[in-house]
Amino acid sequence: MSADAKLSPPATNFIRNIIEADLAGGKYAARRWGGRPGPAQAHAGATPDEEKIRTRFPPEPNGYLHYGHAKSICLNFGLARDYGGVCHLRFDDTNPEKEEKEYVESIIDSVKWLGFDWRENLYHASDYFAWMYEFAEYLIRTGHAYVDSQSADEMRANRGTLTEPGRDSPNRERSPEESLDLFRRMKIGEFPDGAHVLRARIDMASPNLNLRDPAIYRIRHASHHNTGDIWCVYPMYTYAHPIEDALENITHSICTLEFEDQRPFYDWLLERLAEGGLLQRPLPQQIEFSRLNLTYVLLSKRKLIQLVEEGHVDAWDDPRMPTLVGARRRGFTPEGMRLFAERIGVSKSDSWIDFSLLEDCMREHLNEIAPRRIAVLDPVKLIIDNYPADLSEDCFAQNHPQHPELGKRAMPFSRELWIEREDFMEVPAKGYFRLFPGNSVRLRYGYVVKCGGGVKDADGNITEVHCEYMPDSKSGTPGADTYKVKGNLHWVSAAHAHAAEVRLYDRLFSAASPGAGDRDFLQDLNADSKRVITAYLEASLKDAKAEERYQFERHGYFVADRIDSLPAAPVFNRTVTLRDSWGKT
């Protein structure tokens, strides 16, 4: 059963309630999805009329997607899936001057990796620059916008504060003819950057600062990666976004809470354009939800860039990074990410989610899908003194305890094995059931052995452990279970083991809220977040393919690194330990 199937029906939430009420009230019943009046006819989204709702995920291609974006992606695509709708992927590239190709490709890969499909609906904000420009002329002609020639400083000074109203610009009463003339000359490049801006004419005394005649167009002599040098005026994000939504016939425009104060402008703008017949009703509805905050994780783009540029991590896809490319390399699964998104739900209240919830979602899915294998991470030799030196035989280990249908595999057993260093103690601690002189344990899937003792080097380090095996105790043979032992150790045959690089990843930050207060967040980096070791793996792991996931018994879930693994030489990353052991060493 898939992680999604287990979850159905999805938990309800306030956004689902809104959508269900809209559908029940027939809000979109009369809507023609495919066509619309006015200039917007040229673009209406490529999906047919049966479609019920339409959402969008609108990343700005200026960085890599992170866990927070995953919440938004799962929400938007998930709603479209559950209500018979479509979700558009739209690159919000209103800002020229940003190199975007690397980010665009990575965003496309990550959304696909999460398991979502926008069908043919991949768009760019810059696809609509011509409409946005026409709409701006319409607003000028109808008295809803004017060209302001104050400097940026004057505009700021006249904007007022939360307690004081703003002051009208001396240009506020410019006639539509004069504004239109200036705007057209702005467009053809007559003026330098900053000489004029186009502003909506709303209310300089509004208690909502966003309604105090917000700027909607600015002069920018810059080349745009999609439109080249066609434009030297560019729309402001707050003006562009509602128009993009409306032109694409989005029904529910879902965004994070910081846009709540922008909603009145969103509605004001679309109302004006609909009044003029430039947009069809019903108009898209903006709905805000609270963003994801995760303990032990930073999701700020600026800080993530700093981590990469200053070399605190290896790259954007470093398995410790909270990016989706990092999550993928870490071995996190898309199913686990979607499970996480369902579990955290959506609401309007700000909250912190504990990182262990994300890890638990991964464990839950990995437990289901990951075949079991043996790896010795901190090896010491175990020598079975009474086992013939030239002999080896097969032991049989099950591939998945909950899925017997996945069968067993052969593991060679021989006189010299690797076991974990911590599985031997010369002087046992209280309650220690593993190897110590005189004690017997079972070598998992193999024989019971009785420990003779350890051999030490000049520094007192154990270099080998000796034992004797009971020839009639082999697992799976008659009478084997007459041996009652408490310890059950994993091992690999030294002659057959495959030595491999294994990277033990842990949380990137050791503080739940990195950089809280005035502290530099770099001071909260976990010095032990990456440890590279050479481990001994059972022979069958030698052929592991990139991105194959396994449970290494007793150690956790591991994935063959998708970048560094070579044929017959996989490199493994630890995805997550078997249990939450954070802070409990």
292, 297, 451, 539: residue in contact with ligand ATP (rule CB under 6 A)? 292
What does DSSP assign to residue 405?
A: G
Q: Which of 68, 85, 284, 322 binds ligand ATP (CB under 6 A)?
A: 68
Taking CB under 6 A as the criterion, the residue among 7, 34, 60, 569 binding ligand ATP is 60
The CA distance from 235 to 219, in Å, is: 9
Which C-beta is closer to ligand ATP: that of 292 or that of 441? 292
Position among 54, 69, 338, 474 found at the interface with ligand ATP (CB under 6 A): 69
Q: Return d(Cα 489, Cα 475) in angstroms, integer.
A: 13
514 binds ligand ATP (CB under 6 A): no
Q: By CB under 6 A, which span of 38-46, 52-60, 225-233, 459-467 interacts with ligand ATP? A: 52-60
Pick the catalytic residue from 16, 27, 31, 60.
Answer: 60
Half-sphere exposure of 43 (CA within 13 A, CB side): 20
Segment contacting ligand ATP (CB under 6 A): 53-61, 109-117, 510-518, 559-567? 53-61
**C-alpha–C-alpha distance, residues 61 and 96, integer Å:** 11
Rounded CA separation 435/424 (Å): 5
71 binds ligand ATP (CB under 6 A): yes
Check if 199 is active-site. no
**Inter-residue contact 339 to 365 (CB < 8 Å):** yes
60 as an active site residue: the answer is yes
User: Taking CB under 6 A as the rule, does residue 256 contact ligand ATP?
Assistant: yes
Inter-residue contact 209 to 160 (CB < 8 Å): yes
Among 45, 58, 96, 166, binds ligand ATP (CB under 6 A): 58
Is 301 known to be catalytic? yes
Catalytic residue chosen out of the listed positions 27, 291, 343, 408: 291
Q: Which C-beta is closer to ligand ATP: that of 256 or that of 526?
A: 256
Name the minimum Å distance from CB 546 to ligand ATP: 29
Dihedral over alpha carbons 177, 180, 185, 189 (to 10 degrees): 170
346 with 340: CB under 8 angstroms? no
User: How deeply is 284 buried, as exposed, middle or buried, from its count of CB atoms within 10 A (0-12, 13-18, 19+)?
Assistant: buried
Minimum gap (Å) between residue 58 Cβ and ligand ATP: 6
Could you write out the DSSP letters of every residue in 259-306? GGGGHHHHHHHHHHHHHTTSSPSSPPEEEEEPPPEETT----HHHHHH
Size of interface with ligand ATP, in residues (CB under 6 A): 14
C-beta nearest to ligand ATP: residue: 68
Q: Return the SS3 of 119.
A: coil
Contact range with ligand ATP by CB under 6 A, out of 58-66, 312-320, 403-411, 463-471:
58-66
Q: Which stretch binds ligand ATP (CB under 6 A): 57-65, 128-136, 425-433, 457-465?
A: 57-65
The percent helix, strand, coil of the chain (3-state, each to 5) is 30, 25, 45
When the beta carbons of 159 and 291 are compared against ligand ATP, the nearer one is 291
Report in angstroms how near the CB of residue 63 gets to ligand ATP at its nearest: 6
In total, the chain counts a number of residues equal to 585
User: Applying CB under 6 A, does 551 fall inside the site for ligand ATP?
Assistant: no
What residue type is assigned to position 126 of the chain?
S
Q: What binding mask, one character per residue, do residues 296-315 give for ligand ATP by CB under 6 A, x or -?
A: ---x-x--------------
DSSP letter for each residue of 349-378: S--EE-HHHHHHHHHHHHHHHPPEE-EESS
Nearest to 142 by CA among 51, 244, 277, 341: 277
Q: Smallest distance from the beta carbon of 65 to ligand ATP, in angstroms?
A: 8
- Distance, in Å, from the CA atom of 503 to the CA atom of 479, rounded to the nearest integer, reads 41
Which residues sit at the interface with ligand ATP, rule CB under 6 A?
Answer: 58-60, 62, 68-69, 71-72, 255-256, 291-292, 299, 301
User: What are the residue numbers of the active site?
Assistant: 60, 291, 301
